[in-house]
A and B are shown apart, each in its own frame.
Chain A
Amino acid sequence: MKRRDAMKLTAAVAAFGSVLGFTGLSASSSVQRLKWERFYLKFWIEGQQNGMYSFQLPNTIVNAIHQKNKILIKLYRNDSQIHTPPFSWG
């Protein structure tokens, strides 16, 4: 399989899994339900109006949030953590 096809297939599995309800803790079961809320991480360049990127958090993280866990967010370059990430919370 060519890498391009593998990427296409990976994206298709993620997309179809999401719309068919195969997400969350048990990916072998599908769930059809209205979801009350979505959690995103969104990125802006400081001082600019237009967002650069938005990432919807998967259910594993949402569940951890619901369970009142404190979530650590770390930035990595390859395998190395960047200890002074260029982030600020808005």
Chain B
Amino acid sequence: MSLAFELDRESPFSFICKACSKCCYQKAIKVAPYEALRLSRNLGITTTEFFDTYTEGGGTFLKIKPDMSCIFLSNQGCSVHPDRPLVCRLYPLAQTIDAEGKERFGKMPPHPDCRGVYNKDSTVEDYLKSQEVAPYLRMEKRYTALYRKMETKLAHFKNETNGFEQVGPDNVGNATEVSGQALHSPLLDIDVTIESYCKKHGTKPPVNLEEMVTLHIKSIEDWLNKL
């Protein structure tokens, strides 16, 4: 199912959600570290507890219930709406950023029974503002920069040593045990990573979310620099 990314921020677009929740079924909702942090604080738990309880696929996706609905869908709609993940905010738009950093948007095909109203009386930019995606996109950018560093380090290692065969996101897939929800990488867990970092450096972990992300990224960068 390919999607045409034909829109930019100035493109005419509007969508009025009627809260029918049809889009909350049969979806794979990814959770990046900042999203996990927001959701965990919404629930009053640690990111470790969040990953253990609410995710699958090694901590990369939100769990779905037996009726295929999102784990957070309640009778009153999304139970974590103020801290819902980026893809939920973007929907029915999808965003792609190419290797040069150019951003484009595509209109996802709606669920056949979606009651939302599409129109062109506004712009993509207005829609993004209404969904408060800015902090999510900012964090995505920061984590993408970190991801690039990790990728570069791994490529360097593979070149140096002939590396391992079949590594990297394209061909590793997402392997996980059915029973037991160990994270694919413990580095996804912000609380654990910064707690360990602060313990090592004799400092107190921050409580402000932005500062936590900053320290999370710094702790991983420090580790990368030592490799």
Residues in A lying within 8 Å of B, measured CB to CB: 1, 5-6, 8-24, 27-38, 42, 50-60, 66
Contacts and interface: CB of A to CB of B under 8 A. Distances in A.
Interface stretch (B42-50, B173-181, B204-212): B173-181
Interface string B70-93: 000000000000000011101100
Among B94, B146, B147, B179, max chain A CB count under 10 A is at B147
B1 A55 contact: no
Interface residues of B, number: 64
B169 A13 contact: yes
Nearest to B58: A15
B60 interface: yes
A34 B108 contact: yes
Contacts of B124: none
A34 B91 contact: yes
B184 A14 contact: yes
A31 B93 CA distance: 11
A28 B173 contact: no
Contacts, number: 173
Interface of B: 1, 3, 23, 26-33, 57-61, 86-88, 90-91, 94-99, 106, 108, 140, 143-144, 146-147, 150-151, 153-154, 157, 160-161, 163-164, 167-179, 183-185, 187-188, 220, 224, 227
B175 A55 contact: yes
Given A19-B33, A28-B99, A29-B99, A14 B169 contact: yes
A79 B58 CA distance: 28
Contact of B172 (A10, A34, A51): A10
B94 A32 contact: yes
B37 to A, nearest CB: 12
